[in-house]
Amino acid sequence: MRLPNTSIFALSICSLLFLSSHHPKETVLDSNYLTDTTNVLLQEWTGPYGGVPAFDEMTVEAVKPALEQGMAMSLEEIDAIANNSEEPTFENTIVAMEKAGEELGRVFTYYGIYSSNRSSPEFREVQQEMAPKLSEYSSKISQNEALFKRIKAVYEKAQQTPLEDDQQRLVELIYKQFQMNGAELDEEKKQRYAEINKELSKLYTQFSNNVLADEEGYVTYLSEDQLSGLSEPLVKAYAKAAADRGKEGIYAVTNTRSSMDPFLTYSDERDVREKVWRTYYSRGDNGDEHDNNKIIEEILKLRKERVGLLGYDNYAEWRLQDRMAKTPENAMELMNAVWPAAIARVAEEVEDMQAIADAQGDDITIKPWDYRHYAEKVRQQKYDLDSDEVKEYLQLDKLREAMFFVAGELFNYDFTSVPDGKVPVFHKDVKVWEVTDKTSGEHIGLWYLDPFARTGKRSGAWATTYRSHTTFDGKETVLASNNSNFVKPAPGEPVLVSWDDATTFFHEFGHALHFFSSNVRYPTLNGGVRDYIEFQSQLLERWLSTDPVIENYLVHYETGEPMPQELVSKIKKAATFNQGFATTEYLASALMDMKLHLTDPENLDVDQFEKETLAAMNMPEELVMRHRTPHFGHVFSGEGYATAYYGYMWADVLTADAAEAFAQAPDGFYDKELADKLVKYLFAPRNAMDPSEAYQKFRGRDAQIDALMRDRGFPENTEAGAVPRRDRKPETGRNQ
């Protein structure tokens, strides 16, 4: 049984939910619970495909009692395991824990939908109330002394007489998890540890809700004379956004990236661009009741105090010990190797943009709200590449078909649309497909797609599972979803997206394929190492620009004609264009994440620290971090990416290196032999195999950093070699 992260549902783009990975099964209930099992959120999933969530029956009113009942049932199961009079064994301790908590796992599926896809003021009240209770629940498990004694006994026995490989890894992961969460502390420290977790759970929820409030509360409205430069489909989408808010006849740029980004790229109205830019990058930083700066300061203090109880100097040191990087120094080494080349490229990009502005007589100096706009002009001048023209060949429905094609070629999967009404959904926009094996017809799972932005849905794009594959208690099929925030078009209009958005769509689908291809026995092994799990999805992005996809699915939305070869050549020629901007805005956030957790948080002024740190890094003034600190949900809505945002770069080293392997294969990106190795070693094992070992089995060696530099068009760092490797076995950590 994995301990629930009480804020995991509030994580931002590409966050993965690993709370309930085994399929609910029939449970014999104590008589005390019989009267409470009518709560739909606790009930066994019924219907087709091995049972599916009753999304059409869920209510906010059911969330609190379901959570409370689920926690009580789970703790009863845990107590039974902890107090078992028999000698601790793998079966009666570790396997028993893997089976526990199924009812609560079902509740968390619905909770995640309300948190991420259908939030409301009513739900946020429940969320705020339940966060500390969920933290207390987690502490009751992680600090259960009798339970940990049994886990430790199984662990020590396995060190003397190793179990099967996946069982051995499972024992080590669970033992390490408990140890890192204070299982060996004395009673006084355990109590403080639990108190800190409880306080943090409240702060994480508050942080997340503050960002969501600013995304919902700030809208930039436009009149017809402020639409210069915008395409017709974009204008129609902005008109619909305004109409949805009761503002017929005008236009609305909402406070989300999917709405903001194209406006900054195409709008000719510089003053409005600045307003939209400031509104977006000020989320959580407006000096009002939704300001997050003081919350961040308190989070950092509590995190440092908590790991101090375990004997660690800082949060990063504690967090990274079980990641691929192992230490903050290794993570910083990678980021610092790339940073100089990134900001140097920004200087070149700004010079090109300023030259165009000067030639046009615009009489401006490039500012952050100008970057996207003039970068597009440089793209057109240097590569004769018009992003608006490219969008005409990027229809959302055709991109989905392209992803299905790639999944068929690499994974042998077939996707068939499930008729509306056969499977319950939580919003009318959600569509469902059945996934089967192309050869055998075997059912693999269901894929849910929730593509459009709306009020109450958090920004960004992400993937999650409602049920993960396991085989230890009967084979379980996968229920996975992808969630995006594309601007919903006017009725009858196609959804046209940018190349970047198309890439993100493929990226998130990569996570879904990682879920579907899982071949593990135990639920915990469906988790992942944070600086590794982005690798598989980043790698799948590369198939967007392969010839079969371009020739068959990137077709004009009006004529149906394939993308002309001339335009394809321009796209590929411009592949490294604007990498200064893309790499720098990301790396600035990753470096800030690490530096915030390495500094002393006492008397910390977050706003001042951000400014001074960026200045010391020589951050170009023409752009800003991808995620400014006050709305950095990856890091402060929970702990999944805290001191781990660097992981996208770490994963990109693997991605670039693996992509070169495909590029050099006899049949390129559709080479069957290499695709089989991809699935066997990089997708199917999930966390049942050490990531470094898995990559070596695929590539025959460790990944090389220079592949990343080549991939981004940067000068190669001749001093950089392979990424540092993790040891085969997890460290035992520091004990008190």
pLDDT tens, residue by residue, 499-512: 999 999 999 999 99
pLDDT reading at 63 higher than 90? yes
* Ranges 10-19, 156-165, 168-177, 477-486: which has the least confidence: 10-19
Q: What is the pLDDT of residue 582?
A: 94
Q: What percentage of the chain reaches a pLDDT higher than 90?
A: 86
Residues 6+ apart with CB under 8 A from 80: none
Residue 199 has pLDDT above 90, yes or no: yes
For each of the domains in the chain, give its residue range(s) and CATH number, in order of start. 8-212 (1.10.1370.40), 218-281 (no CATH), 391-563 (1.10.1370.40)
DSSP annotation of 16: -
CA distance readout (Å), 41 to 24, 69, 101: 12, 10, 13
Question: What's the rounded mean pLDDT across residues 605-621?
Answer: 97
Tell me the average pLDDT across 291-295.
97
- Whether the CB-CB separation of 330 and 724 falls below 8 Å is answered with yes
Burial class (CB in 10 A: 0-12, 13-18, 19+), 213: middle
pLDDT of residue 416: 98
Residues 71-118 have pLDDT tens digits of 999 999 999 999 999 999 999 999 999 999 999 999 999 999 999 999
- pLDDT(721) > 90: no
The answer to whether the CB of 644 falls within 8 A of the CB of 530 is: yes
**Of 699 and 719, more confident:** 699
The total number of residues written for the chain in this structure: 736
Q: Which distant-in-sequence residues (6+ apart) come within 8 Å of 275 by Cβ?
A: 220
Q: Supply the pLDDT for residue 640.
A: 85
Average confidence score pLDDT of the chain:
91
For residue 490, the model assigns a pLDDT of: 85
Query: What's the mean pLDDT in 678-687?
Result: 96
Mean pLDDT of 210-219: 94
How many Cβ atoms sit within 10 Å of the Cβ of residue 174?
23
Work out the burial of residue 287: count CB atoms within 10 Å of its CB; fewer than 13 is exposed, 13-18 middle, 19 or more buried.
exposed
pLDDT in tens, 367-410: 999 999 999 999 999 999 888 899 999 999 999 999 999 999 99
Task: State the pLDDT confidence band at 473, using cuts at 50, 70 and 90.
Answer: confident
Residue 198, phi then psi, degrees to nearest 5: -65, -45
What average pLDDT score do residues 313-323 get?
94
- pTM of the entire structure? 0.83
Residue 469: which residues within 8 A CB-CB, separation 6 or more?
A: 445, 475, 476, 477, 478, 515, 516, 518, 519, 520, 526
* Range from 160-174, 484-498, 652-666 carrying the lowest mean pLDDT: 484-498
β strands within 378-529, DSSP E = 413-417, 431-437, 443-452, 462-467, 478-486
> Residue 607 class from Cβ within 10 Å (0-12 exposed, 13-18 middle, 19+ buried)?
middle
DSSP 347-384: HHHHHHHHHHHHHTT------HHHHHHHHHHHHHHHH-
CA atoms within 13 A on the CB side of 736: 20
Strands 478-486 and 443-452: parallel
Strand-pair partners of 436: 414, 443
319 pLDDT above the threshold of 90: yes
CB atoms within 10 A of CB 438: 13
Give 515-535 pLDDT, tens digit per residue: 999 999 999 999 888 889 899
Angle at 236 between CA 235 and CA 238, to 5 degrees: 65
pLDDT at 717: 60
pLDDT for res 467 = 96
Q: Is the pLDDT of residue 28 over 80?
A: no
Q: Is 166 helix (H, G, I), strand (E, B) or coil?
A: helix
Active site residue 68: no
CB 11 within 8 A of CB 458: no
**Count of other CB atoms within 10 angstroms of residue 325:** 27
**Range of lowest pLDDT (7-16, 159-168, 305-314):** 7-16
Q: pLDDT tens digit string along 590-608?
A: 999 999 999 999 999 999 9
Give the side-chain half-sphere CA count within 13 A for 464.
26
In this model, does residue 9 exceed pLDDT 80? no
Distance, in Å, from the CA atom of 143 to the CA atom of 174, rounded to the nearest integer, reads 13
pLDDT at 287: 94
CA dist 24 and 20 (Å) reads 9
Per-residue confidence (pLDDT) for residue 1, from 0 to 100: 46
Half-sphere exposure of 641 (CA within 13 A, CB side): 29
Could you tell me which residue, 472 or 601, shows the higher pLDDT?
A: 601
Question: What average pLDDT does the segment 197-202 reach?
Answer: 95
d(CA 338, CA 715): 10
pLDDT at residue number 36: 56
- Cα dihedral 152, 155, 160, 162 in deg (nearest 10): 170
Is the per-residue pLDDT at 620 higher than 90? yes
**Residue 718 clears pLDDT 70, i.e. is over it:** no
Residue 432, classed as helix, strand or coil, is strand
Alpha-carbon Rg for the chain in angstroms: 25
Q: Indicate the pLDDT class of residue 268, thresholds 50, 70 and 90.
A: very high
User: Rounded to whole angstroms, how far apart are CA atoms 140 and 583?
Assistant: 42
Q: Does 724 score more than 60 pLDDT?
A: no
Q: What is the pLDDT of residue 720?
A: 43
Looking at residue 7, its amino acid is S
User: Which range has the worst mean pLDDT, 267-276, 304-313, 421-430, 727-736?
Assistant: 727-736
Catalytic residue, from 508, 541, 585, 610: name it.
Answer: 508
Distance CA 40, CA 160 (A): 46
Q: Give 533's DSSP letter.
A: H
Question: CA 518 to CA 526: how far, in whole Å?
Answer: 7
Do residues 251 and 487 make contact, with C-beta atoms less than 8 angstroms apart? no
